[in-house]
Amino acid sequence: MLLFGYMAFQFGRMYFNERKEKNRLEGSWKAANQQIVFYKAKNGNLVVKNDALQLKYKELKDIYPEIISEIKNLKVNPRQVEHYSETVVHQQKDIVTTLKDSVIYDTIPVRVFNYQDEFYTIKGIAIADTQKVHIESRDSLIQLVYKGERYKPWLLIFSRRKLQQVVSCKNPNSKIEYSRSILLQNY
């Protein structure tokens, strides 16, 4: 009788572990195929939100080998990484400024321009038919990974929460085009 009780306990434990693994894989599959969601923060900046993937090292190696090679390129052992995040940002801004006539070396006429704001510094010079432009861009990228919405909100406190990522840029001319967050599990 004791043997049957022990076997029932082991089978129950295996069942719940497999069910937990199945739910993790289903959640990661949905997160990998979902579109990013845009919304405005309180300060008016555009924010992006998406679910985080939860993968084991072997799964990451099979599905995203380019991520493993990038981690190795950074001289980090991929098995020691706990969280990987990748975000692609596109910046675009039209700038209008006046050209000023100037003379360099006392004989060469040139036209120069300067522009500066909180996020950009641009300096340019036009000599004959050649233009030289120096552009500096500054931005702050804020990323949060947190336990957000519930998998099954109708179960209230009995439902686990999804890992979600929120990404925001301080530069209003930046647009986040792509964001991926992967939480690596060590077992």
Domain match, 107 and 174 both = no
Domain match, 73 and 148 both = yes
The letter for the amino acid at 68 is I
- Residue 49 and residue 39 in contact, taking contact as beta carbons nearer than 8 Å: yes
Domain match, 48 and 122 both = no
Domain match, 86 and 173 both = yes
Domain match, 148 and 177 both = yes
Domain match, 13 and 72 both = yes
Domain match, 81 and 152 both = yes
Domain match, 42 and 104 both = no
Q: What is the pLDDT along the chain (187 residues), one digit of tens a residue?
A: 788 888 889 999 999 888 888 887 887 788 777 787 888 888 887 888 888 888 888 888 888 888 888 888 888 888 777 888 888 777 777 766 666 666 666 677 778 888 888 888 888 888 777 788 888 888 877 777 778 788 888 888 888 888 777 878 888 888 888 788 887 776 5
Domain match, 75 and 164 both = yes
Task: Domain count for the chain, please give it.
Answer: 2
Q: Which domain holds residue 114?
A: 100-137
Q: Ramachandran region of residue 128, left (φ > 0), alpha (ψ -120 to 50) or beta?
A: left
Cα distance between residue 102 and residue 178, in whole Å: 44
Domain match, 81 and 116 both = no
Q: Which two tokens stand for residue 9?
A: 């306990």
Q: How many CB atoms lie within 10 A of CB 25?
A: 14
Domain match, 120 and 60 both = no
| Tens-digit pLDDT profile for residues 67-115 | 888 888 888 888 777 888 888 777 777 766 666 666 666 677 778 888 8
Segment holding 123, helix H or strand E: strand 120-127
Domain match, 6 and 78 both = yes
Whether this prediction's pTM lies above 0.95 is answered by no
The letter for the amino acid at 101 is D
- From the list 74, 77, 98, the residue with the least C-alpha distance to 86 is 74
- From the list 83, 86, 84, 91, the residue with the least C-alpha distance to 170 is 91
- From the list 82, 74, 116, 81, the residue with the least C-alpha distance to 97 is 116
Work out the end-to-end distance of the chain between its first and last CA atoms, rounded to an integer number of angstroms: 33
